Amino acid sequence: MIFTTGGRTDTEGKAEAKRIANSLNIPFIERKKQPLNEMMEKYRTPVIVAGKKRIECHTPGSEEPLFFHPNSAMFRVKRLLRGEADPFIEACGIKSGTKLLDCTMGLGADSMTASFAAGDRGKVTGIEENSIVAFLTAAGLSGYESGLEELDKAMRRVETVNCHHLDFLKSCSSGQYDVIYFDPMFEEEILESSNFSPLKPLASYAPLLIESVELAKKAAKERVVLKDHFRSGRFAELGFRQLKRKSAKFHYGVIDLQ
């Protein structure tokens, strides 16, 4: 992984790009008008680009760059504002004041939606293993303006932690959270999820371990929730009660602790 600037940048922009690269412990390479595809081919690695409006991660073989955006959180929060239901919120039982740990945060769409539902009295912490994704998400949550005030406030309340969720769970005290949530990479791909493709090269494909689930059961007071493909065997293997939804490509599984 290397870091560079946009095609046109000034001295201030270059200095900021170097600062970010140093904070991520990623080599900074002068752009010098090089096309990004040539840089990826030359260095055989993804390239993070600090542009004037946003930071993007370009990966070989991916047509679209990865950058922060609320994605589904935008329309999901709008639906909640209209009083409509959200399957994730219902599966997790999130209400005002809920403390939720999102163990597989990614770009944070579920964390943002949970933060809105939990409100000012709640707390959402997101764990992201990949340092690049964690950086993009944390920066976006703190500064992105969606145009929807309620969503922006929810975004600012989310805490991002860069580590493996297993390590974090080992440090948790008993009943520290109300709900703990897992959304690992599906074992069976959903072809319609094309908006997820830029994240794939940076995502973790490690299986969800029973150790993680057992630690989550100790750290959660109310329930542990798993999102997975509707045909996944992990619901039964890991002890989750599968909440089946007609015509849905993914289901939620719940372990009730009360």
Domains and their CATH numbers in the chain: 2-58 (3.40.50.10480), 72-256 (3.40.50.150)
State how beta strands 55-58 and 47-50 pair. Answer: antiparallel
Confidence (pLDDT) at 233: 94
Higher pLDDT, 167 or 205: 167
How many of the other CB atoms lie within 10 Å of CB of 103?
A: 26
In 3-state terms, what secondary structure has residue 180? strand
**Cα 245 from chain centroid (whole Å):** 23
56-60, 134-138, 152-156: least confident range: 56-60
Give the chain's radius of gyration (CA, Å).
19
How many of the other CB atoms lie within 10 Å of CB of 145?
A: 9
Residue 186 has pLDDT above 60, yes or no: no
**In the block, which residue shows the tokens 């990623």?**
26
Residue 185 has pLDDT above 70, yes or no: yes
The dihedrals phi and psi of 65, each to the nearest 5 degrees, come to -75, 160
CA separation for the pair 186, 221 (Å, rounded):
26
Confidence (pLDDT) at 247: 86
Confidence (pLDDT) at 187: 54
Helices (H) and strands (E) counted in the chain, each on its own, are 10, 10
In 3-state terms, what secondary structure has residue 213? helix
CA separation for the pair 12, 22 (Å, rounded):
15
pLDDT in tens, 65-101: 899 999 899 999 999 999 999 999 999 999 999 999 9
CA separation for the pair 110, 71 (Å, rounded):
10
DSSP 38-65: HHHHHHTS-EEEE-SS-EEEE-TT-SS-
Which distant-in-sequence residues (6+ apart) come within 8 Å of 2 by Cβ?
26, 27, 28, 29, 39, 43, 45, 46, 47, 48
State how beta strands 99-102 and 177-182 pair. Answer: parallel
Q: For the chain, what is the mean pLDDT?
A: 91
pLDDT in tens, 10-40: 888 889 889 989 988 899 999 988 999 999 9
Structure confidence at residue 142 as a pLDDT band (50, 70, 90): very high
How many of the other CB atoms lie within 10 Å of CB of 244?
A: 10
